[in-house]
Structure 1
Amino acid sequence: MRLAIKGSGYTSASKTEIEFLNQVLIVVNDQGKIEKIINQHDDDYASLLQLAKSQNKLVELSENQYFLPGFIDTHIHAPQWPNAGLALDKPLNEWLNEYTFPLEAKYQDLSFSEKVYDNLTKNLVDFGTTTAVYFGTIYPESNLVLAKMCNKNRQRGLIGQVAMDDPDMNPEYYLDKSAADSIAKTKRFIDELKQQNQTNVIKQTPVITPRFLPSCSLEALRGLANLANQYDLPIQSHCSESNWENGYALEKYGKRDATVLDECGLMNNRSIMAHGTLLNDSDLNLFETNGVTVSHCPISNVYFGDGILPVKRILNHHVNLGLGTDISGGFSPSMYDNVKQSILSSQQLQSGVDTRIDAQKRGVPDSRITAKTAFYLATVGGAKAINLPTGELKPGYLADLQIVENQPKPFQPATSDDIFENLMYATTQNDIKAVYVEGLQAK
């Protein structure tokens, strides 16, 4: 036994429902997985409770504390953390060239990398994010520093060596020399991270990461796809994020970017494509057929997405959806903030935003999602995206949890559903009292 937690909490039961686990004992084995979830009336409850107490491994929640699965951030640009909240009024291409690329070029300095990544990973853990899917930089050494900081702060990271080799679309000072250079640096990062993992407590995963279609040559895309297959690795990129990106693919290739990425071998059940606000039915059919996940970044999409992601339509299309903060296109590292924004954006899609249009015509009917669906995206959807047994509280799953203190309002009785809603809408960083990754305390 690595840990036992006594108390109440929530886990997703489906895309629209939650399960309330009332006064149970969660037993975590020494491999960091949930061994059992025991109700008070089960035969072995008393004996295991006593065992946990005697071994000083019991965590007892107070009356207004609840456990939840750790959140899974499926899209975050780690080097952009210092820019969070800056220049969000700029068009995407200006934001990239004037703010993003100059900052990312600074990560040749490994001391700067360590300072930023230590702060970032600690902040994310403090917000209840136990797993994060990161874009790194074009510098393998810096990305290895990010992996070290994830391990130091006990966060599970899936880390991308960013590839960008097109000299016409990338700044001269922040550019891979060629497609061969992109592929070689990615392979080097994979091999060196594998070595680093031999001493890591929390194993980190390399991710094949072409930045997006405008940044990469077709030769680089195909070579990266070969590496993904050779090493059986996750893949991440951006897809149909904005009018500019969408238009680039159509103008240069006469095809949508999803089609080009698919033809290069980058669209499969290990692939996570960020944003997708402009995906059409043909794209969604491709995503469904190939098992590709969309990372929904609701805060960032307000600024750069040129549209609202139709979450319910995509889920009804049987396409998996995760949730992402997209630092620094999104200003907040909190997945709780993105849970809330995903609900708000869905309501705007349903109601419509141009009041000059008749109310019956300006919105998209049946678009609103609930907090339960947003919670599903932040937990189960993210776990499906990375193909790991996490994001749910059930036997056999990794013991990635957060313990949250609810701030009750003592005016009227609250049901378990009421408490859940309050947790989703009102939880702050200070309310997250503890975080565990594989049963090891990270906060």
Structure 2
Amino acid sequence: MDAVQHVFKGTFIHSTPRCDCEILEDHILGVDTAGKIVFFEDAQKQSKLAQKWKFDESDIQELGKNEFFMPGMIDTHIHAPQYTFIGTGMERPLLEWLEYTTFPIEDTFSDVEIASNIYRTVVRRTLKFGTTTACYFATIHTDASIVLADTASQYGQRAFIGKVCMDHNDVYEKYCETSEESIRETERFVEALKKKKYDRVKPIITPRFAISCSERLLNELGKLANEHDLHIQSHISESPAEIKEVLRLFPGYKNYTEVYNRNKLLTNKTVMAHGCYLTNEELHVFRERGAAISHCPNSNISLCSGHLDVQNALNHRVKMGLGTDVAGGYSMSLLDTIRKAIEASKIIFMERSKSERYNNETEKEQKKNVMPEGINADDQNGILQFEKKVLSYKEAFRLATMGGSEALSIDHLTGNFEVGKEFDALLINPDAIDSPFEVFSDISKEELLQRFLYLGDDRNIRAVYVAGRCVVPFPSNA
């Protein structure tokens, strides 16, 4: 039995398989020297726990009145090299944005010194914003991708690092590999990370998307993932123009999902970004394979790509997490992604309600019986549907934490505060100096959580823990 290194007492908020948002006040949690949660009990058991686990009760770290712990947030889709131009180029649609902004800048990462400087900034920034786990796209450059892995490990972030694979690039031919080179360099990248034996930084097979990969390359990457039991990430059904181009390049496939599925790239360790236009038939395949979707609402809106119907995907029991998709998304913070996910679901609800109403009005006259305050019978029914179909803040909270761990198939390791999992956590202080919001009076922890999710930022994140190690604030020499 490892010794206990941290004991925290106060409020803890997390998701469970049965509850999107469970709030546990006056609880006590212990973390051992291996970074795992060894007990999580009502604080009334404090003395018995101290006796059993042999810790001094004076060493318990008590949270402030309004403070609470929540699980670390999990970014299931982020392009690390694109941080260099975050917040620019938003005037172009996806494929033009890749051609004129993304590919030329990613190509500069052949210079390892450039990569090192940018990746250090990216890892520090994401950790500061509460991202304890990040699923990164790097570039096609193996050595620079290894630098990203080294940097994540140095700062203590849990990460999946993808050396990007692409042997087809009509719009920016300079930024491309041959099939042989892409396969060979991916194998070198995987072996390099295996030799380093990092505890929490792993390689992930990363075909950029079907447009940039030949069938042969996709097939070989599927074999490589299977041979080494590796995670897989890519993009799917992000925009109508992308889907049209995929079907042109792969005429023997009936849809986008089949391109990945037939090449053994859809597994229970696969996460595909976007999925805005996946059909119910394709969602069924995702469910069968155990593959996940990374919902990236900021990027989908910013590049005018489309909207993912989150509730429909969840109704199909498809695993799902959230992604910032920097730099298609203009924010590094998953708090922004939570807000955008809720807003996108409301947009879908409003557009569908509007369409349904217009269709109904062509069949019959609008109902005359007006409800109080101008709400008619159809509107009243709409309010009930709103509650069922719009993503709640609790559901979005789950997607950013436990949902992300499920999407990356690491829910046995992290995602909530279950005993036996590693302690990835954020200590939230609503009363922080220069907080972006105020707490004027005694309010419930549920209201505090809502305010943080809708209004908070990194100023409210007092500390960040990954596997029991406090990684933020950064050490003075980091």
The interval holding the TM-score normalised by the smaller chain is over 0.9
For residues 424-435 of structure 1, the aligned pairs below 5 Å read 424-435=453-464
Q: Distance in 1 between matches of 2:336 and 2:238?
A: 20
Contact 1:72–1:130 (CA under 8 A) maintained in structure 2: yes
- Counterparts in 2 of 1:11 and 1:354: CA distance versus 1, 3 Å: closer
Residue 258 of structure 1 aligns to which amino acid in structure 2? T
Q: How much does 1:317 deviate?
A: 0.4
Match of 2:250 among 250, 253, 257: 253
Q: CA RMSD of the aligned region, Å?
A: 2.2
Q: Say whether residues 1:402 and 2:426 are aligned partners.
A: yes
Q: How much does 1:353 deviate?
A: 8.3
Q: Distance in 2 between matches of 1:193 and 1:437?
A: 20
3-state SS in 2 of match to 1:44: helix
Contact 1:75–1:134 (CA under 8 A) maintained in structure 2: yes
Q: Distance in 2 between matches of 1:3 and 1:429?
A: 23
Give CA-to-partner distance per residue, 1:164-216, whole Å, 9 cap, x none.
Answer: 0025x35222111x21211111010000111223xx4x531000000000000
TM-score using structure 2 length: 0.86
Q: How much does 1:326 deviate?
A: 0.2
Give CA-to-partner distance per residue, 1:373-429, whole Å, 9 cap, x none.
Answer: 001111111101222221111101111001011147555542232222112112111
Q: Distance in 1 between matches of 2:401 and 2:348?
A: 23
Match of 1:7 among 6, 10, 18: 10
Partner of residue 175, structure 2: 174
Partner of residue 319, structure 2: 320
Partner of residue 351, structure 2: 352
Residue 416 of structure 1 aligns to which amino acid in structure 2? K
Match of 2:391 among 359, 364, 369: 369
Residue 420 of structure 2 aligns to which amino acid in structure 1? G
3-state SS in 2 of match to 1:194: helix
Q: How much does 1:111 deviate?
A: 1.2
For residues 131-210 of structure 1, the aligned pairs below 5 Å read 131-167=133-169, 169=170, 171-176=172-177, 178-197=178-197, 200=198, 202-210=199-207
- Counterparts in 2 of 1:207 and 1:148: CA distance versus 1, 3 Å: same
Q: Say whether residues 1:238 and 2:224 are aligned partners.
A: no
Q: Distance in 1 between matches of 2:69 and 2:396?
A: 17
Q: Distance in 2 between matches of 1:262 and 1:2?
A: 45
Q: Say whether residues 1:71 and 2:73 are aligned partners.
A: yes
Q: Say whether residues 1:37 and 2:40 are aligned partners.
A: yes
Which is higher, the Rg of structure 1 or of structure 2? 2
- Counterparts in 2 of 1:374 and 1:359: CA distance versus 1, 3 Å: farther
Q: Say whether residues 1:51 and 2:52 are aligned partners.
A: no
Return 5+ residue gaps in structure 1 as ranges: none
Q: How much does 1:150 deviate?
A: 0.5
Contact 1:351–1:359 (CA under 8 A) maintained in structure 2: no
Q: How much does 1:253 deviate?
A: 2.3
Q: Distance in 2 between matches of 1:52 and 1:280?
A: 57
Q: Distance in 1 between matches of 2:445 and 2:335?
A: 19
- Counterparts in 2 of 1:301 and 1:52: CA distance versus 1, 3 Å: farther
Partner of residue 30, structure 2: 27
Partner of residue 307, structure 2: 308
Residue 439 of structure 1 aligns to which amino acid in structure 2? G
Q: Distance in 2 between matches of 1:112 and 1:48?
A: 51
Contact 2:104–2:172 (CA under 8 A) maintained in structure 1: no
Q: Distance in 2 between matches of 1:170 and 1:439?
A: 46
Residue 307 of structure 1 aligns to which amino acid in structure 2? G
Percent sequence identity is 35
3-state SS in 2 of match to 1:2: strand
Partner of residue 88, structure 2: 86
Partner of residue 415, structure 1: 444
Contact 1:275–1:305 (CA under 8 A) maintained in structure 2: no
Contact 1:160–1:207 (CA under 8 A) maintained in structure 2: yes
- Counting matched residue pairs gives 436
